[in-house]
Amino acid sequence: MYRPRAFAVDEVKALHAAIRARVLATVAVVEDGDVHLAYAPVVVDEDGRFGSLRFHLARQNPVTSLLDGAKVKVSFLGPDGYVSPDWYAADGFVPTWNYIAIEGEGVARRLEGDACETALADLSAQQEAKLAPKPSWTMAKLTATRRHQLLDAISVFVLPLSRLEGKFKLSQDKSAADRAGVVQALKALRDPDATTLARVMNMHGSGQSVTVDKTGVGKVGGKHEP
């Protein structure tokens, strides 16, 4: 991923938290020169240098047969939005797009047996926790027969990450006055996505380490390393 220094984020804890807030991954694998894509929510596990991801696909998905033992890339998108030049305090700028993007890669491995049901239980628990105070749905609400039917219909994988990097393009290359103008304009739109982007920008400041929580915004202290 092209990452100018001002936007590069390599803090693993911040990247994991951002993924947990927007868990849907674009999964990419290459076969015979063709790129094949699939989409799956993930569970992040904090093992190894960059952690690992667990996810599942429908067994009938053509991508499923390509993953086991293959080099796989994943991509995640966080809050994003258009930025008008009219919002800056200074003149001479052109339109741009602010966004959070994360990319990773590794060699995928198919999970078998109890590990498959554990992955599904962990994923549902992760997402149900975001719906509190609603009582959490659990796999225990399914009969054993129904659980086996569901598990037979999917393939579950783990992706130990050998690379993980983020790009938080949030106007860090602009002056404080310019950033403030963008934040104010985004809030004035009264659009949920624009408001989330404004909050992330406002908390990010200049060089501060930022991530997003279940509501789309959050913060991890410190500064990014170059």
Cα dist from 69 to 35, 85, 146, 159, 218, whole Å: 16, 47, 29, 10, 35
5-204, CATH topology level:
Pnp Oxidase; Chain A (2.30.110)
Residue 26 has pLDDT above 60, yes or no: yes
> Is the pLDDT confidence value at 1 over 60?
yes
pLDDT of residue 215: 46
102-125: per-residue pLDDT in tens?
999 999 999 999 999 999 999 999
Lowest mean pLDDT segment, chosen from 7-21, 83-97, 193-207? 193-207
Structure tokens given for 226: 């170059």
Q: What is the DSSP string of 106-147?
A: EE-EE--THHHHHHHHHHHHHHHGGGTTSPPP-GGGS-HHHH
Checking if the pLDDT of 172 tops 50, the result is yes
Q: In this predicted model, what pLDDT tens digit does every residue of 174-221 receive, in sequence order?
A: 999 999 999 999 999 999 999 999 999 987 764 444 545 544 444 444
Query: What residue segments make up the domains of the chain, in order of their start?
Result: 5-204
Residue 129 has pLDDT above 90, yes or no: yes
pLDDT digits (tens, 9 = 90+) for 27-80: 999 999 999 999 999 999 999 999 999 999 999 999 999 999 999 999 999 999
